[in-house]
Copies of this chain bind each other. A is one copy, B any other.
Amino acid sequence: MDTFFNPSSVAIIGATEKPGSLPGIILKNLLDMGFKGKMYPVNPKYKDVFGLKCFPSILDVPDEIALTVIAIPAPLVLDVLKQQAQKRIRHSIIISAGFREMGTEGIEMEEKIKQVAIENNIRILGPNCLGVLDNYTNFTTSFLPWERVSKPKKGALSILSQSGAFAIALLDLAAQEGLGIAKMVNYGNRIDIGESTLLPFLMDDMYTKVIAIYMESVDHGRRFIEAAKACSRKKPIVALKVGKGAAGIAAAKSHTGAIAGKYEIYKAAFLKSGIIEANGLEEFIDAVKALSMQNPPKGNRILIVTNGGGFGVIVADYCSENGLAVPTPSPQLKEKLKNKFSRFYVVNNPVDLTGSACDEDYRIALNTGMIESDEYDAAIIIPLMAPQGMTEKIVDIIVDTMKLLGKPAVICTVGGTFTMKIKQLFEDRMFPVYPSPERSARAMSMLLKRRILQTGMAHTQCGGVTS
């Protein structure tokens, strides 16, 4: 499997310098990323491409080739695969579209390719896909120009996606959200390699700490559950299942030719295999961000600290809706907090530091509320940056305090340019920031779900005082 992410040598079929050609862009992207393996452009029309010696066919390449990247028109793919069989090249990423998703004729071509692959022991990723991006080996088969799609930084998240557009949008969003990426794999029509093969590989991948799966259908039901079960014991897996209702199932069928099947069956399978299911794209991104950046809380008792009372109220509402408790501080703790604060501050849960708050107040609230008592397992912190007492220092204060406490936190803050700057500072230090109270509460509930899956503890037994 490693060959798909770090091939010692790769042949790019149809490589050219002509702008707009897929094999050409792929080769250019590989060069731009600084991939260190051997690269062989293959195209009878050229002697060299982007400064690399170009070969008329794979058979003319004198060295061994570990992987071919095929991004030429569908009807020409079969011949390349036959040549490749002759040269005993065991791995192929087939980017080309025009197969199963195009109806009868396409299905026939796809079946022929499958047969040649099986007979010759060739493992295939695709067709109708973007292939892979490995942020550590710098190998990619993406044919999208980097000036359009931001390249995310190195990190702990790996993405498995049946949809190419979705995979790309996730990369772009990840870059925007300060979320680091390890690997991305898009397998499109998935005639061979799919989730069931990739999960065991990612389970042992040292760079991958969290796995995100976009799924219209699954490759092999039972194998998938087994693979996911084993993998989720080690690493959190978040899935977004699309094609749920009649309209979505029909749309999925035209999209990847996938039979989406009954949604209830997927729901049950996710539960069985320890997969956290997200509802929609935002919850998907929010969950993987929280899980990539913070540890799951030990229980469900949440302390809310804010300088915007209304936001505290909304977070409290959405905590309740999502299985998080918002317990009132004990009389002793209330007393302690009251002694430390101006009488204007509302000492309760939420702790409301009001519009008069300055950033140091957050340190006091979190230290007193969480260290000096064992009443809370995690914090949702809502620093609104409009009041003048709030400065950039809030980031160090919250990050340092929570790290000392050893308890997880998520941040919610809402606003324009200055707020966006604060968001980035928090996320550089691995504290996830959400732009609405409801999303911060849901992200925290995703962290708790991970804890529940890890420990097998039931929701009601996770140490929380229900408020």
Contacts and interface: CB of A to CB of B under 8 A. Distances in A.
A318 interface: yes
Interface in A285-324: 304, 307-314, 316-321
A254 interface: yes
A246 interface: yes
A158 interface: no
A316 B255 CA distance: 12
A386 B101 contact: no
Interface in A125-168: 144-145, 147-150, 161-166, 168
- Name the interface size band of chain A: 35 or more
Given A169-B384, A314-B281, A386-B172, A247 B150 contact: no
17 contacts: A97-B355, A101-B346, A165-B384, A168-B386, A172-B416, A214-B310, A242-B314, A245-B320, A246-B467, A247-B319, A248-B320, A250-B316, A251-B317, A251-B349, A255-B313, A255-B352, A282-B439
A89 to B, nearest CB: 26
Given A165-B309, A242-B310, A326 B247 contact: yes
A315 B388 CA distance: 41
Contact of A243 (B214, B255, B317): B317
A48 interface: no
Nearest to A282: B436
Contacts of A437: 280-281
Given A168-B384, A255-B310, A282-B435, 9 more contacts: A148-B385, A148-B387, A149-B416, A247-B317, A247-B325, A250-B348, A251-B326, A280-B437, A281-B437
A13 interface: no
Contact of A255 (B165, B250, B346, B386): B346
A344 B97 contact: yes
Most buried by B among A163, A321, A388, A415: A415
A309 B130 CA distance: 13
A18 interface: no
Contacts of A344: 97-98, 102
A148 B385 CA distance: 7
A317 B386 contact: no
A364 interface: no
A445 interface: no
Contacts of A172: 386, 414-416, 419
Nearest to A20: B388
A32 to B, nearest CB: 15
B313 A414 contact: no
The 8 closest A-B pairs by CB, nearest first: A163-B310, A165-B308, A248-B317, A255-B309, A245-B320, A280-B438, A166-B310, A150-B416
Contact of A165 (B168, B256, B310, B417): B310
B165 A355 contact: yes
Contact of A248 (B169, B279, B313): B313
A85 interface: no
